Amino acid sequence: MNSDIHKPIIGFTSGDLNGIGIELIIKALSDNRVLDLCVPVVFCNNKCINFYKKTLPQINFNFHSTKELNRLNHKQVNVVNCWEEDVNITPGELTETGGKYALISLQQATTALKDGSINALITAPIHKKNIQSDDFKHSGHTPYFKEFFAVNDVLMFMVAENMRVGLVTEHVPVAEISKNITKEKILSKIKIMHQSLQKDFGIDKPKIAVLGLNPHAGDEGLIGNEEETVIKFAIKDAKHNMLVFGPFSADAFFARGSYEKFDGVLAMYHDQGLIPFKSLAFGEGVNYTAGLPVVRTSPDHGTAFDIAGRDKADASSFLVSIFEAIDIFRNRQGYKDARANPMRKMSARFLANSVDEKLAEEAS
């Protein structure tokens, strides 16, 4: 039997054409370990790939070009041509073109993810300003996927080998954070994190830490009262059927290494969670969107216009994003298989035991 049919099909968006996304794709997919584990499908354009390929002469990168997802080469990198026209690529520049074609790539890849043509998706970095249009009015990938897949809530979940950090609020101005911290929202994020830790990361009884919003977690109401009036009540409700602890003072929690005692950490806002995460994840962090019916990951950095097209981009986080997506996809399959048709499994076990008993009787 051909083992290739068991490899998941992993899609890749181009990201902003003038950022480091395509360079990262070439560097990451030239690693032979990737082709051993999955079938890569890049949603882009041959000419764009070849443009950046010329800036990386030391890398041997070959690909199979196609317009149809049912004609993939399972032994090679596949490039799906999402557009035919010539595009002006200007590495390092913020242009309308860079955002326009990043969106085309994202739309086609997301459609393929939704209809099951690919098993997971890695999104290269976009620029939140130049991708804005009538078809994209979001603050980033996470809310885009939430709307596209019509789910009630999702969790921006930053994961690394040594820690996992989720956010209650994402790209929200600091002045508006406190009014977005509600009991209902915190509970929703805790539930998504708990389910993801079980289903996506294979942890049966995950332990979750919840951070406070204010310095020193409010010092019992002396420095803000959100901990006393909102966060503690959310934790209390969550404790009915989950292992949830807190609220913890964010600075001491990370400085003392307390995060190592938990399977997941829920931060109240973007920088509270991402500054320590990016400092402690050693450049190998992954942004995972938990709560979706599909698997989507991305590296934990942006477009990096300042080094685009100069062969300076580090593909470490991008590679880890690929391996993480494959692991999550497989964990989900295992989780689903373990819970599928329990009555049928019981019947099969009963039949097997009956056959064993009959054989034993005949043997005696």
Domain boundaries, the chain: 1-151+292-364, 153-286
Do 1-151+292-364 and 153-286 have matching folds? yes
Cβ atoms of 300 and 277 within 8 Å: the answer is: yes
Which residues of the chain, if any, have pLDDT below 70?
A: 1-5, 341-364
10 Å CB burial of residue 265 (0-12, 13-18, 19+) is buried
Amino acid 94: pLDDT: 95
What six digits make up the tokens of 40?
A: 């890569």
User: What is the distance between the alpha carbons of residues 235 and 231, in angstroms, rounded to a whole number?
Assistant: 6
Amino acid 350: pLDDT: 53
Amino acid 1: pLDDT: 33
Amino acid 337: pLDDT: 85
33-47 confidence digits (pLDDT tens)? 899 999 999 999 999
DSSP string, 121-174: EEPPP--TTTT-BTTB-SSSHHHHHHHHTT-S--EEEEE-SS-EEEESS-S--G
CATH node for 153-286: 3.40.718.10
Element (H, E) at 44: strand 39-44
Classify domain 1-151+292-364 at the CATH topology level.
Isopropylmalate Dehydrogenase (3.40.718)
